[in-house]
Amino acid sequence: MIAAKLAAHAASLVDAELDDAVLHAAKRCVLDTFAATICGAVNAPATLMTDALEEELDHGNSGLVPSGRLAPIRTAALINAAAAHAMEVDDIFRDGIYHPGPPVIPAALAACQGRGMDGERFLRAVIAGYEVSNRVAAAMQPMHYKFWHTTGTIGTIGAAAAVSVALGLDAAATKDALANSVTMAAALQQAFATDSMGKPIHAGHASEAGAMAAIVAEKGVTGGDGIFEGPTGIGRAMSYDVDWEAMTDTLDKEFTICRMTQKNHTCCGHTFAAIDAVLALKEAHGLTPDDVEAITVGTYAKGVEICGTPDPKTLYEAKFSLEYVMAAALVTGRVRFAAFTDELLADPVMRANMAKIKCHVDDAAEAAFPSRRSAVVEITTKDGQTLEHYSPTRKGDPDNPLSDAELEDKYRELSEPVIGVDAAEALRQRVWEIDKVDDLRTLFA
């Protein structure tokens, strides 16, 4: 059974020998996800969820990030995970079209805090959650992504694996946790087709449901057999012709957490290759908005489907608009939080440049998806030049990664406005040595 194979691998990570490179990659993911959670915590839906779930707070041993306000394991996982996915700055496993950080890391953190576990167990839980869910996500693609939001579906499985390791479950109990997490996995892409808060709630639900599956498995709640590969299992229900054996064959050969994407822009990752191309052309040719007559972008079909939004009405829609983010790159030279304001959304210069941009599906980019996220941008200038740039990948992808220093700069930009320079620096230092923290409940002290 696939669940048993995945469970055995996850359970082995409780005390397996791990290379320094794997531990370092996990710390990078933790730092990046903490940054996403901290900035998301002071925005909706996390603020609204905190108010709505008031009666579940101020007891338990797990904490909301960054306030440290106490909560039970499941509630902390739910709210922190929604916060981590809210601002579109979270990590990506490219092959799986999946953001593992929001569902996995809050669940692992909540469980380790709830049980007074140390930082090393936390890192191992994170690695297990990533390794199980990244593989399942990749195996289910590309068909799964036609209707389902992978972070909300497969993220449930990642959270269950992470909490199973945090709690020290054996392989049999972990199998039950994974099986029950699968049958609770759900998240429809329609939730983010328009401006709503459904998308980050997907991550919250995944983290909470996966945590619950592991917590009850610890007490003996069993899960069904064949939940991955069976005739009515997730493979057939949510995808097509999944090669489960190929997926499990790689379990002992590599760590997928070493192949993560950390976002360089604060918007939907499907737009990144196009943004990179505009920035490259702007820098190489000294372009200003007044120089540009027209821009065309060719990218893969999902990028056009999800992010071909020529007239965004809200900041949420702007983050999913190729037209908006490419115009922002041209006008402002940077696509971070400062590019997403009501003033800029309504700015006549921005609107004029958005009108210059046309999107289409590029055959080569579509053929390479999802293992490569590429785009080709062509800019026609008012003096008659045609300038072209091909982005074969995105800045931040594993073949063009952010350095540790660049990742730290991003962390500071997202966290310092919320918790201050001193607290951000203290947390940054603790994350890089988190495997030496004796009790995760002290992490945000």
Give me the percent of the chain exceeding a pLDDT of 70: 100
Amino acid identity, position 62: S
What band does 72 get if pLDDT is binned at 50, 70 and 90? very high
Domain check: are 378 and 304 in the same one? yes
Check residue 394 and report its DSSP letter: -
- What is the arithmetic mean of pLDDT over 415-426? 98
Is 397 within the bounds of a domain?
no
Scanning the structure block, which residue is given the tokens 């400062």?
338
Domain check: are 209 and 346 in the same one? no
Is 195 within the bounds of a domain?
yes
Domain check: are 151 and 275 in the same one? no
Q: Is the pLDDT of residue 319 over 80?
A: yes
What band does 194 get if pLDDT is binned at 50, 70 and 90? confident
- What is the arithmetic mean of pLDDT over 207-222? 98
Closest CA to 329 of 365, 280, 368, 372: 280
Query: What confidence score (pLDDT) does residue 15 get?
Result: 95
Cβ contact 283:334 at 8 Å? no
Q: Please count the helices (runs of H) and the strands (runs of E) in the chain.
A: 20, 6
Q: Is the pLDDT of residue 4 over 80?
A: yes
Structural domains of the chain, count: 2
Residues 216-232: pLDDT tens digits? Answer: 999 999 999 999 999 99
Q: Is the pLDDT of residue 110 over 90?
A: yes
Mean pLDDT of the chain: 97
Domain check: are 241 and 300 in the same one? no
What band does 250 get if pLDDT is binned at 50, 70 and 90? confident
The H or E element spanning position 325 is helix 322-332
Check residue 241 and report its DSSP letter: S
Domain check: are 382 and 424 in the same one? no
Domain that holds residue 289: 269-391
Cβ contact 29:257 at 8 Å? yes
Q: Is the pLDDT of residue 445 over 80?
A: no
Q: Is the pLDDT of residue 444 over 90?
A: no
Domain check: are 16 and 99 in the same one? yes
Phi, psi angle pair for 137, to nearest 5°: -60, -45
Other beta carbons less than 10 A from residue 311's beta carbon: 11
Residues 371-404: pLDDT tens digits? Answer: 899 999 999 999 999 999 999 999 999 999 999 9
Is 398 within the bounds of a domain?
no
Phi, psi angle pair for 153, to nearest 5°: -95, -70
Q: Is the pLDDT of residue 254 over 90?
A: yes
Q: What contacts 237, CB < 8 A, 6 or more positions away? A: none
Is 137 within the bounds of a domain?
yes
Query: What confidence score (pLDDT) does residue 252 get?
Result: 84
What band does 430 get if pLDDT is binned at 50, 70 and 90? very high
Scanning the structure block, which residue is given the tokens 């008031």?
54
Lowest pLDDT segment from 23-32, 179-188, 246-255, 432-441: 246-255
Q: Is the pLDDT of residue 195 over 90?
A: no
- What is the arithmetic mean of pLDDT over 30-43? 98
Query: What confidence score (pLDDT) does residue 412 get?
Result: 98
Q: Is the pLDDT of residue 153 over 80?
A: yes
Is 207 within the bounds of a domain?
yes
Domain check: are 211 and 340 in the same one? no
- What is the arithmetic mean of pLDDT over 314-318? 94
Query: What confidence score (pLDDT) does residue 360 get?
Result: 97
Instruction: Mark residue 116 as left, alpha or beta (left: phi above 0; alpha: psi -120 to 50; beta: remaining).
Output: left
Cα(199)–Cα(118) distance, integer angstroms? 31
What band does 157 get if pLDDT is binned at 50, 70 and 90? very high
Is 251 within the bounds of a domain?
yes
Q: What is the CATH number of the domain that holds 418?
A: 1.10.4100.10
CA atoms within 13 A on the CB side of 57: 17
The H or E element spanning position 295 is strand 292-299
Is 396 within the bounds of a domain?
no
Domain check: are 252 and 276 in the same one? no
Angle at CA of residue 74, ends 260 and 56, nearest 5°? 135
Cα(432)–Cα(443) distance, integer angstroms? 12
Q: Is the pLDDT of residue 271 over 90?
A: yes
Phi, psi angle pair for 281, to nearest 5°: -70, -40
Q: Are strands 386-391 and 375-381 parallel, antiparallel or unpaired?
A: antiparallel
Domain check: are 363 and 424 in the same one? no
Q: Is the pLDDT of residue 93 over 90?
A: yes
Burial of residue 428 (CB within 10 Å: 0-12, 13-18, 19+) is: middle
Model confidence, pTM: 0.94
In order of 274, 297, 334, the CA distances from 280 in angstroms are 10, 14, 11
Token duo for residue 328? 């922002």
Query: What confidence score (pLDDT) does residue 193 get?
Result: 84
Domain check: are 85 and 115 in the same one? yes
Is 314 within the bounds of a domain?
yes
Domain check: are 286 and 219 in the same one? no
Q: Is the pLDDT of residue 234 over 80?
A: yes
What band does 439 get if pLDDT is binned at 50, 70 and 90? very high
Q: What is the CATH number of the domain that holds 309?
A: 3.30.1330.120
- What is the arithmetic mean of pLDDT over 73-95? 97
Residues 340-378: pLDDT tens digits? Answer: 999 999 999 999 999 999 999 999 999 999 989 999 999
Cβ contact 227:3 at 8 Å? yes
Domain check: are 21 and 48 in the same one? yes
